[in-house]
């Protein structure tokens, strides 16, 4: 199943779909992978952590697909800590450095970019320069500046308000 996730994200999708808001795309991700995201969040796919390709698929479920499925809701960020742990593990094991495809390296590192911990984002900047590109490293730098200024990502405030109104 992890190969279907990687094929969908890196072969069937176009890069503009990864970052542009689209209810149609979000719905497709929800229908195709919603149950797997739930399983990943519940810890049911831990066996996927053993190999680089299945672990990258797990990172996608936890860090990217959750954002599509629950856009604008607090649950969109529910997998962030798990994904960050996997990203840092992949870095330590050399999986990111060994990955020949830039787009895959980018999504290995995306949990670090999404972190609201300034030290993590700061650590990501040179890694993004090395493994991805300067434009993504510049985005991480702007994210770091937002964290230093506000202590959080302000664009997540709406989701936080949703959480406060729905305990």
Where do the domains of the chain lie, and which CATH numbers do they carry?
2-165 (1.25.40.10)
Question: For the packed helices 102-114 and 118-131, what is the interaxial angle rounded to 10 degrees?
Answer: 170
Measured CA to CA, the distance from residue 13 to residue 34 in angstroms comes to: 17
pLDDT at 165: 54
Q: What is the CA radius of gyration of the chain?
A: 15
Between these two residues, 154 and 88, which has the higher pLDDT value?
A: 88
Q: Is 17 left (phi over 0), alpha (psi -120 to 50) or beta?
A: alpha
Query: What is the percent of the chain with per-residue pLDDT over 90, rounded to a whole number?
Result: 86
pLDDT at 153: 85
Question: For the packed helices 134-150 and 118-131, what is the interaxial angle rounded to 10 degrees?
Answer: 170
Residues in CB range of 156: below 8 A, 6 or more apart: 77, 116
pLDDT at 163: 55
pLDDT above 80: residue 22: yes
pLDDT above 60: residue 31: yes
Give the length of the chain.
167
Interval 86-92 mean pLDDT: 98
Whole-number average pLDDT of the chain:
93
Instruction: Record the tokens describing residue 12, joined without a space.
Output: 């069937």
- C-beta separation of 109 from 131 below 8 A: yes
- C-beta separation of 82 from 41 below 8 A: yes
Report the candidate in 87, 75, 73, 90 with the shortest Cα–Cα distance to residue 37: 75
- C-beta separation of 57 from 48 below 8 A: yes
Instruction: Record the tokens describing residue 124, joined without a space.
Output: 């990501």
Interval 146-163 mean pLDDT: 79
pLDDT at 158: 73
Interval 103-118 mean pLDDT: 97
pLDDT at 164: 54
Measured CA to CA, the distance from residue 50 to residue 48 in angstroms comes to: 5
Tell me the pTM: 0.92
| Per-residue pLDDT band at 154 (split at 50, 70, 90) | confident
Residues in CB range of 27: below 8 A, 6 or more apart: none
pLDDT above 70: residue 167: no
């Amino acid at each position: 199943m992890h190969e279907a996730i990687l094929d969908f994200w890196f072969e069937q999708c176009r890069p503009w779909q990864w970052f542009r808001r689209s209810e149609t795309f979000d719905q497709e991700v929800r229908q195709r992978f919603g149950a797997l995201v739930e399983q990943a969040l519940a810890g049911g796919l831990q066996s996927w952590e053993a190999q680089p390709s299945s672990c990258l698929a797990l990172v996608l479920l936890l860090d990217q697909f959750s954002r599509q499925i629950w856009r604008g809701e607090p649950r969109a960020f529910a997998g962030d800590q798990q994904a960050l742990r996997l990203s840092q593990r992949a870095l330590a094991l050399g999986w990111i450095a060994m990955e020949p495809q830039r787009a895959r390296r980018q999504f290995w590192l995306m949990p670090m970019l999404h972190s609201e911990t300034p030290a993590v984002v700061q650590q990501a900047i040179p890694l993004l320069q090395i493994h991805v590109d300067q434009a993504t490293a510049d985005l991480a730098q702007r994210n770091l500046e937002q964290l230093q200024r506000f202590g959080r990502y302000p664009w997540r405030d709406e989701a936080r308000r949703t959480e406060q109104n729905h305990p």
